[in-house]
């Protein structure tokens, strides 16, 4: 008995559908054990998505490096005296984070981020949540981490802005180090 080409195609199509449904069911069951990423709140600091393990008792925080804090205050005063509120800066984040390793160009108007691009493509501003993306935010980030296990900073001596910030919250933990490089800051034209 010969099977017509139409019947044969229908049978084959039915078999493919059955296999697809079985595979889809297996994938759905396998994925059901993963946490819902939409239910996870955005971390307050996108550069440190994992909470650093405290090295010391929270009641007795690590001492602040007063030399670094003085250096920070001196350079912030230089930056404030420049009064540059409209500028663009190119940042590279070195961290275990979504923006790592790529030059991000940020446009700042009146001290606020108004645009960001990655290789010419727009970056949604929400993607910068938790990332210091203005010079003032970089200063605030360095101040927040003044009692980290290790903090290193480099500066543009003429305008005072940080050209590099390196933070290692816990010297005993692995993969919690963060580096931020400021490639350039250009006044708006």
Question: For the residues 32-41, what does the mean pLDDT come to?
Answer: 48
Element (H, E) at 88: strand 87-94
Predicted structure pTM score: 0.68
63: nearest Cα among 182, 148, 178, 168: 148
Q: What percent of the chain has a predicted confidence (pLDDT) above 70? A: 72
Q: What is the pLDDT of residue 150?
A: 84
Q: Tens digits of per-residue pLDDT, 124-165?
A: 999 888 889 999 999 998 888 888 878 889 999 999 999 999
Q: Tens digits of per-residue pLDDT, 5-30?
A: 667 677 777 777 777 677 666 666 66
Domain boundaries, the chain: 5-38, 66-187
Question: For the residues 77-82, what does the mean pLDDT come to?
Answer: 96
Q: What is the pLDDT of residue 145?
A: 84
Q: Is the pLDDT of residue 41 over 60?
A: no
Q: What is the pLDDT of residue 35?
A: 52
Specify whether the CB–CB gap between 90 and 105 falls below 8 A. yes
């Amino acid at each position: 008995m010969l099977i017509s080409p139409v019947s044969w195609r229908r049978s084959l199509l039915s078999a493919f559908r059955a296999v697809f449904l079985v595979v889809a069911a297996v994938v759905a069951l396998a994925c059901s054990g993963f946490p819902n990423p939409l239910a996870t709140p955005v971390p307050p600091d996108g550069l440190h998505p994992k909470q650093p393990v405290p090295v010391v008792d929270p009641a007795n925080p690590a001492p602040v490096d007063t030399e670094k804090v003085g250096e920070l205050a001196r350079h912030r005063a230089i930056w404030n005296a420049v009064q540059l509120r409209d500028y663009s800066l190119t940042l590279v984040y070195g961290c275990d984070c979504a923006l790592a390793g790529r030059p991000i160009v940020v446009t700042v108007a009146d001290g606020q981020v108004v645009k960001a691009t990655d290789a010419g493509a727009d970056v949604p501003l929400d993607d910068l949540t938790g990332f210091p993306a203005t010079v003032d935010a970089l200063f605030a980030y360095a101040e927040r981490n003044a009692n980290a296990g290790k903090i290193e900073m480099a500066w543009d001596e003429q305008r005072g802005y940080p050209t590099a910030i390196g933070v290692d919250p816990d010297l005993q933990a692995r993969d919690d180090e963060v580096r931020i490089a400021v490639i350039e800051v250009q006044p708006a034209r």
